[in-house]
Structure 1
Amino acid sequence: MRADARKNRDHLLAVAGAAVAEQGVDASMRDIARRAGVGLATLLRHFPTREALLEALLHTSFGELTATAAEFEASNSAADALVTWVRDCVAWTTEYRGVTVLMAAAIEDPGSALHASCVTLRAAGARLLTRAQAAGVARGDLDGDDLFALIAMLAWLGDQPSLAPRADRLFDVVADAVLTGTDTDAA
């Protein structure tokens, strides 16, 4: 990609990130283009669909969360790695209101622009869960799909203004239910 095209794309992503942080994943493509100082056609040339824009916007964060899972897997106890990573995932989703609904749909739709990134993220969490199960510190009846659903559930809870004050306590309740005989307060 040419340097000027890369600069324009990066500018569009920066503006889109701010708009999505403010308005959620349903932020208007027209508004994003206006804020970026370009026409809608220019935005659509770079990102032909809202999902393509969101995939580009979220791709880096998904990659970072996946890399963090690998780091935690190598350096933390199995329980700490799992709980800390899940907490990081839930915290990240609060940056973009509505992203959990989008992720839940994308993971089931191989044609989605977000599908591959969501599958990779789910696999990273599944590895942490499997490691915790092998260490005997996590329930054996859960799998990566369950963990992904729990993350979505906890993230949704934090998105609800009336329930957000309970989110941290309920995260701990869920962590206690997932872990077996481990002090999650240390995580």
Structure 2
Amino acid sequence: MRADAKKNYDLLLGAAGAVVAEQGAEASLRDVARRAGVGLGTLYRHFPTREALLAALLRTGFDELVARAAELEASGRPQDALLSWVRECVHFSTVYRGVTEAMVSAIEEPESALHESCVALRASGARLLDRAQGAGEARAGLDGTDLFALIAGLAWLGDQPALAARAGHLFDVVARPALVAEPVVSPSGGAGDGG
């Protein structure tokens, strides 16, 4: 890519991040081009569709979340790693309002520009969930698809203006009970060690 094209590409991604954060996933492409200081034609040369622009914008964030899952998987208590990662995914999904729907539909559409990134994200969460389940620290019977759906649901709550201020509290109300395994109770009534 030529230096001027690379500069425009970077300007467009930076502008898209700001505009999508303000307006949501259906942000005006004209506003993105205007904020980047380029013409609409330049935007379309780099990103022929809205989905292509969103995919480029979100791919970096998804890649960071995949890398973060690997870091958490290698250290710390499995339950803490899982809950931390889910919280980070929910936060990321609410920064760009409206991307949750695009993420959920991209999982089912192999032709989608977001498909590969979303599948990698779901697989990363599934590994953290499997690890926590193996340690007896996460509920059995859940899989990566369930986890992805839980993240999407929690992100949707954060997207709702009337609920956004409560998103952290709602995370604790919903995510912890949904994911955390109940402690094993010994016959004497005390919590056992699970093994």
TM-score after normalising by structure 1: 0.93
2:188 corresponds in structure 1 to none
**Shift in Å at residue 86 of structure 1?**
0.2
Task: Give 1:173 shift.
Answer: 2.4
Give 1:27 shift: 0.6
**Hey, what does 1:176 align to over in structure 2?**
177
Q: Rg: which structure is higher?
A: 2
Q: How does 1:73-112 map to 2 (within 5 A)?
A: 73-112=73-112
Q: How does 1:45-124 map to 2 (within 5 A)?
A: 45-124=45-124
2:26 matched residue in structure 1? 26
Residue in structure 2 matched with residue 185 of structure 1 by the alignment: none
Which residue does the alignment assign to 2:142? 142
Amino acid of the structure 1 residue aligned with 2:144: G
Q: Tell me, in whole angstroms, the C-alpha distance in 1 between the residues paired with 2:178 and 2:107.
A: 24
Separation in 1 of the partners of 2:16 and 2:165?
A: 28
* Alpha-carbon offset, residue 104 of structure 1: 0.6
Counterpart for residue 2 of structure 1? 2
Partner of residue 192, structure 2 = none
CA contact (8 A) 2:140 2:181 kept: no
Task: Find the aligned partners of 1:160 and 1:129 in 2 and give their Cα distance.
Answer: 27
Paired residues, what number?
A: 182
Gaps in structure 2 of 5+ consecutive residues = 184-195
Percent identity over the alignment is 69
Aligned-pair distance for 1:7?
A: 1.3
Residue in 2 aligned with 1:38?
38
Q: Distance in 1 between matches of 2:165 and 2:12?
A: 34
SS in 2 for 1:94: helix
* Alignment TM-score, normalising by the size of structure 2: 0.90
Distance 2:114 2:65 in 1: 15
- How far has the Cα of 1:31 moved from its partner? 1.9
Instruction: Kindly indicate whether structure 1 or structure 2 has the higher relative contact order, using CA contacts under 8 Å at least 6 residues apart.
Output: 1
Q: Which runs of 5+ in 1 are unaligned?
A: 183-187
Task: Please tell me the residue identity of whatever aligns with 1:45.
Answer: R
C-alpha distance in structure 1 between counterparts of 2:149 and 2:179, whole Å: 13
Partners of 2:164 and 2:5 lie apart in 1 by 40
